[in-house]
Amino acid sequence: MTNFAPRTARFLAIALLTGQAGAQTVVVTADQPSIDRWVYPFGSSPGYEFDAKAFSALGQENAFPPLSFDQRDAQMLVGFDLDSDVPPGRGMCGYRVTSAVLTLVVSNDRVFKHDPTFDEWPTYQNGAADADGRPVELYGAAFRNGWTACAIDAGTPSLNQFPCYYEGDPANPGPPFGPGAFPTSDTRHVYPTDFAERVERDVSNNVRDQFDPSPFAVGQVAGLATGAPVPVDSEMTFTLNVNDADAQAFLRRACDSGLLRLMVTSLQPASSGGGGGPGTGAFASFYCKEIGVEGLSARLSMSVRLTPPGDSNASGTVDFADITTTLTNWGGAGPNGDANCDGAVNFSDITEVLSNWGAG
């Protein structure tokens, strides 16, 4: 590849009529992110890396007091500004994301194995290895310590160092991402979340805390066998589970704000003696947009159906079919049947449908 991509993301948005009662769908394709960043406390060039690595600090979390690392130690933040393509401010019920795929390109050659399935937390205990490697997982990005997501002006390179703003002084956001003066767990400004029951639960230390998070997607390399080493320049795709109520709620919120921020993370082992903990160093690395080569940056493909209030089946019209959908999914978490987007399919959704009868 020799063609250099522009530094700004190119978006294509097409409004079209689907076959479902005139529902309008916006198809968004971005061949470059608005922001990508290696989220690692010891990154030497914050915001300007050619690639971003994803590895864990399992077995070394508290090796150097007062330092204490998150188990998901090195991660990749990927962001897309959607507001020029998906109309923001419609409220969460104004959107139904029907598909979303993130594509990354691997920058290291046959260093880690292809594991396309989620591994439960007990399998990581006591430094256990896995014959088919460890998966790369995708979550939403959440913020703390007064930091928030912000729109990125790709023409202002310095902003890539600060992919969120500190609310106290947006013009001077302070240090780049990191846990502060000393790296400590559970404190970094941006962290991965599975948005469980619409709560920004931090999944950085799920092995320590003994729970299984629900990733939005697990990375897949088409045509590559499970356990096979992943070649350089392989495309790893993350097909988000848009039928999961929590993932759908996160994506709907992103559409409403115009800012989609995702975290690529893994519990693959860091290399021994390299500052990231003991291990084989069999971890994934992905190109950042700073590499400047067309086709190597993170890419997003997403379809968003614009829906009226009360539209429990995302058809674009509120009618008897929405009553049927709500009754069929009664007692579930949605998104099908959840007419008021509160994460529960119950009698209040029937009321929402009736209150908005005929809309669309």
How many angstroms separate the CA atoms of 5 and 12, rounded? 15
Cα–Cα dist 126/17, whole Å: 54
**Rounded Cα distance, 281 and 274, in Å:** 9
Q: For helices 347-355 and 320-328, give the axis angle rounded to 10 degrees.
A: 170
Q: Are 147 and 316 in contact (CB under 8 A)?
A: no
Q: What pLDDT is attached to residue 171?
A: 55
Q: Which CATH architecture has domain 311-360?
A: Orthogonal Bundle (1.10)
Report domain extents, the chain: 11-306, 311-360
Q: What is the pLDDT of residue 84?
A: 87
What pLDDT tens digit does each residue of the chain (360 aa) get? 333 333 344 444 444 434 344 579 999 999 999 888 888 877 766 667 899 999 998 887 777 777 788 999 999 999 999 988 999 999 999 999 999 999 999 999 999 999 999 999 999 988 778 889 999 999 999 988 777 787 654 444 444 445 565 555 555 555 545 545 567 888 888 899 999 999 999 999 999 999 999 999 999 999 999 999 999 999 999 999 999 999 999 999 999 999 999 999 999 998 765 444 457 889 999 999 989 999 999 999 999 999 999 999 999 899 999 999 999 999 999 999 999 999 999 999 899 899 899 887
Give pTM, 2 decimals: 0.88
What's at 60, amino acid-wise?
Answer: Q
